[in-house]
Chain A
Amino acid sequence: MKRNKTMHSLGRGLLSFFMNAALILFSLTCIFPIIWMGYSSLKEKRAFNADIIGLPKKPSLVNYSRILSNPDYHLSESMLNSVRTTALSIVFIIVFSFVVGYILARVSFRLNRVLYAMFLLGMLIPVHSLLVPIYVVFRNCGISNQWFTLIFPYVSFGLPMGIFLMEGYVKGIPVSLEEAAAIDGSSFSYTMWYIIMPICKPILVTIGIIQVFACWNEFSFALVLIKDVTLQTVPLALTQFRGQFASDYPKQMAAMLITMSPIVILYFAFSKQIIKGMITGAVKE
């Protein structure tokens, strides 16, 4: 009996060991690219090309100093452009998603479902098929190559996902809450902004997280709609480190680490909120 118990405990221990080892290994595969970027950015181009994975033999910050001292790279401007474009886009996406999602979930009118379906169709259209028509529209409207240009497509293409999530979330909120508010004399807009919106905070954070990453990393619209190098966003500015026949990968990695620092710091600063928001988005009670 005692022997069986020992065997059972040993089996559980071994299982736990292997499961933990597998999870640690899996975690390392996620973290390793960042670590690799970190130490590779300390290598010279030649050393990197000779040994892609190896640790730097003579670590040097020369890539960072070259990037920060060369005004042609426009990294600071591109970061500010990305921060501005992303921040404004997120504000608009959250506000519009909330209002439209709430109305579609709560107000019944004739074309409610048609309108909802139209918004959702936005998720099915491949962005690349719209690049040329959107470029032509923007050019004819005189709004291409401006500091605010990218906000329009980012908001437009962010809304379908936002509305989809918001509509579903609002539907899960008991209507009796709004009925009680109405009995107490609350107007439609007061109920929407001051009673429902605070309840929707987790899903709004989820939408915000998804869209921050989407806007920050977006490339196609930035490439086509922006001509002025001083208006480039980070993903576009990073392409400068690639040549026609050769690339300076260590310098590119150093630039990536510099430009990703705000978003990483943002993630750590709001990690609890972000994880909570992600769980909210994943599980509905």
Chain B
Amino acid sequence: MKKKVFGGLLLAAVLLAGCGGKDTGSTYQESDFSASSEGSIVYMGELEIMHYSTSEESEGNGGSDGFRTVLAQWAEAHPDITLTQNILANAEYKTQIATLAAADDLPDVFFLQGMNTIDWAKQGLIYDLTEDIKSSPYAQDYNEAYFNPFMVGDKIYGYPALTGGTCTVVIYDKAMWKEAGYDRFPSTWEEVEKAAEYFQAQGVIPVAFGNGGKWQANSCFLSTLANRYTGPDWFLSLVAKDGAAFTDPEFVSALTEMQRLFHQTDIFNVDFNAVTNEDAREYYISGDAAAFIGGNWDESYIWAMLKDSDPEKFDHMGFAVLPQPADAKMAPNSQNIGLGYAVAINAKLADDPAKLEAAIDLAEYVTGPAFANYVTANYALGGLTKAAQVDLSAFDQITQDFYNWSYVDTEECEIYDSYITNAVWDVLNTDLQTMLNGDISPEEVAANAQAAYEANYSKE
């Protein structure tokens, strides 16, 4: 009897869970845009695309939402083509796409991560899109700098996708800094150190940061800070294996300054190496911290959290670039921004020109004006293509400020881990975490990164 009751419960649980219903496809916002080449594609059949814009990812994420929207538009405009989507969350996507690449079985169209470009191009896995990009109807509107991570020599292997957002922004509470005697966020670390004394006396964390995931210190701090010492050419030379080395004095100086800021000053929360960016931004939201350093994804979250729950604090949100170190000479107004993924095409499609044409059309469309206009109009974000009209008046002041800060008022620099290879960044990120605790010297970090670079990275 007992078993029957439990059996019934089991069945009920399965049926209850089944209430989610059958997949009827996502609902998309109506749009005025139409696919560029509607009717001109001769290919009829299946086209497979693999990406990581899951339903969850697209909630509040402009790039992901925009991508899903324009992808649906393209599919609707090409009824003769069966667009098969394989959608996985980002971490799982990276595992599966790496397996498929190792088995030489990449999907027709997929997201290419910048750091895989050289290896996969060398193996002949990805189609050379150089001529197609040059002859694209949107070529004039492309932000050419975004192609860098997807280039090998002069050849381009992908259409940079999703939105270009900063990876290093200082979000600060204008009112709190005003009380500390600063009308705006300090432009030098010396001033921040002075302000830290005031905030510490008030029991407030001057600047919140979270490096629990290890990648944050690299993506959201070092990429920009080191650019202030090395300038942009150093990193491009490193990517091109053109002479630059992690052991160069400028880069070691950046590491030394970074260690000093985190280990010898009271600027950051003491648990910065244990908490993630998700935890650290809560310090800012709750008022326990006067500022926070993170990426555009953190800004979106803080914006959404404060807008309704704390309008006063919301109105006090300000944005700043990383302060300049005293001994740094380069680009004081720089912040790292770019597109980490590109829409790439399987090299095997070269054997099927009609299918290749459809794949290129798809790649152009989902990274073209339709996408740019959508994300600009709905999220005040930018993509590969410059938006036709940027009307910010419909957005609140904070969104307008962040758009201008991201795309107009600051200087761009590269996001390190969009390039080279994970094998190098894994070593550097682990060492950075140890270094920020004061357990390893900047010179050792640089030497280890250089060894990993020489062992794992080749230009051709």
Contact = CB atoms under 8 A, between A and B. Distances in A.
Nearest to A252: B56
Contact of B102 (A67, A132, A230, A241): A132
A251 B20 CA distance: 14
A223 interface: yes
Interface in A229-258: 229-230, 236, 239-248, 251, 258
Interface in A87-139: 131-132, 135-136, 139
Given A83-B14, A245-B297, A71 B24 contact: yes
A6 interface: no
B282 interface: yes
A80 interface: yes
Contacts of A269: 2-3, 6-7, 9-10
Contacts of B86: 227-229
Contact of B278 (A76, A132, A246, A259): A246
Contacts of A75: 17, 20
B305 interface: yes
Contact of A244 (B17, B57, B286): B57
B39 to A, nearest CB: 29
Interface stretch (B90-98, B119-127, B179-187, B255-263): B90-98
B338 interface: no
B6 A230 contact: no
Contacts of B301: 246
A49 B20 contact: no
In this complex, the interface size class of chain A, counting residues with CB under 8 Å from chain B, is: 35 or more
A125 B22 CA distance: 39
Given A49-B282, A72-B54, A73-B55, A229 B18 contact: no
Nearest to A270: B3
Given A139-B105, A223-B95, A243 B19 contact: no
Contacts of B16: 258
Nearest to B22: A71
Nearest to A73: B20
Given A71-B21, A229-B87, A132 B57 contact: no
Contact of A71 (B23, B56, B91, B96): B23
A268 interface: yes
Contacts of B309: 46
A135 B56 contact: no
Contacts of A71: 20-26
B417 to A, nearest CB: 13
B83 interface: no
Contacts, number: 133
Which of A46, A248, A259: most chain B Cβ within 10 A? A46
B354 interface: no
Contacts of A245: 277, 295, 297-298
A262 interface: yes
Given A49-B278, A72-B23, A243 B6 contact: no
B44 interface: no
A208 to B, nearest CB: 16
Interface in A42-86: 46, 49-50, 67-77, 79-80, 83
Interface string B267-303: 0000000000111001001100000000101100100
B13 interface: yes
Contacts of A247: 278
Contacts of B440: none
B20 A70 contact: yes
B99 interface: yes
B3 A79 contact: no
A244 B93 CA distance: 10
B301 to A, nearest CB: 6
Nearest to B88: A239
A79 B17 contact: yes
Given A68-B20, A76-B20, 8 more contacts: A49-B282, A50-B286, A71-B20, A77-B23, A132-B99, A229-B23, A236-B92, A246-B297
23 contacts: A68-B19, A71-B22, A71-B25, A72-B54, A74-B20, A76-B21, A79-B14, A135-B100, A136-B103, A223-B88, A229-B87, A239-B92, A240-B55, A242-B89, A244-B57, A244-B90, A245-B298, A246-B278, A261-B13, A262-B10, A265-B6, A265-B13, A270-B3
Interface of B: 2-3, 6-7, 9-10, 13-14, 16-26, 50, 52, 54-57, 61, 85-92, 95-96, 99-100, 102-103, 105, 277-279, 282, 285-286, 295, 297-298, 301, 305, 309
